[in-house]
A = this chain, B = another copy of it.
Amino acid sequence: MTDNSAIAQYIAKLERRGRLPDDDREKLLRIPGVVKEHAAGDVIIANNVPSEHCVVVQSGFVSRVRTLHRGARQIVAFHLPGDAVDLQNLLFTRTDHQIQAHAPTRTFWIAHKDLWSLTDQCQVLAKALWLDTLVDASIFREWTANIGQRRAPARIAHLFLELAARFAAIGMVRNRTFSCPLTQTAFSEALGLSLVHFNKSLQTLKRAGFISTKHSITIEKPDDLVAMSGFDPTYLHLDASRVVDLVEAADA
């Protein structure tokens, strides 16, 4: 039996928003798949290739990258352990962006058709997956607003708070500190900033005592950061507040 701990983590994530029926949970847990390993920097799924699998992160750290003109790259999403990376492509036949590892990463691969037939059997699960893609969309919107409206320091702060909240949700924050394998280049590609400007703005935040970094990131003054960046974690939908109860709704 392949190691399906990625699925267990993913189910835990879904169930933070609302319980699944036992039957749906069991079936998802038993879904066939294979585990793959990737080194830091590896391209996990290339751009513009047939899309036939869903990938769930088991460990490590992953991003989605759109490549534009002359090598300009925009990271459009980050994914932590327990995140489903490729649900976005479940209904598309080709990928429209690239998936990349930023650390040694283990992933669990599910064939689209297997997940597809599961959603036909499990209506509540299908809704939970749909909900998960809606949460992703909510995060995309927030990134658009972050990049469009905030200037560098607040923009950086907002992303750091998002990462802190998401790492916290999977128990990977201790003493307001989490370790995140991203280079400054990667951060700058996610934030629409140049590397140099990111570096300098980050130092501004450090000098102000808002955060500190030594191989990991520490949120030293959460309140000040929240105030300066206007961070409101609602858009992450990490728990059941503001989310419909899928089981009750199914009965209605």
Interface residues, chain A, CB within 8 Å of chain B?
Answer: 64, 66, 68-69, 72-74, 76-77, 88, 90-94, 96-97, 112-113, 116-117, 119-120, 123, 126-127, 130-131, 133-134, 136-138, 140-145, 147-150, 191-192, 230, 234-235, 237, 242-244, 246, 249-250, 252
In the complex, what's the smallest C-beta–C-beta distance from A232 to chain B, in angstroms?
9
Docked pose: A249 CA to B68 CA in angstroms:
32
Known: A91-B134, A93-B243. A230 touches B145 (CB 8 A): no
For the residues of A in contact with B, the DSSP-based class is helix
Chain B residues with CB below 8 A from A91, complex form: 127, 130-131, 134, 243-244, 246
Residue in B closest to A154 when the chains form the complex, CB atoms: B69
Residue in B closest to A141 when the chains form the complex, CB atoms: B76
Docked pose: A91 CA to B245 CA in angstroms:
9
Contact assessment for A94 and B137 in the assembled complex, using a CB-CB cutoff below 8 Å: no
5 A-B pairs with the lowest CB-CB distances in the bound complex, closest first: A148-B192, A140-B140, A74-B145, A137-B137, A91-B131
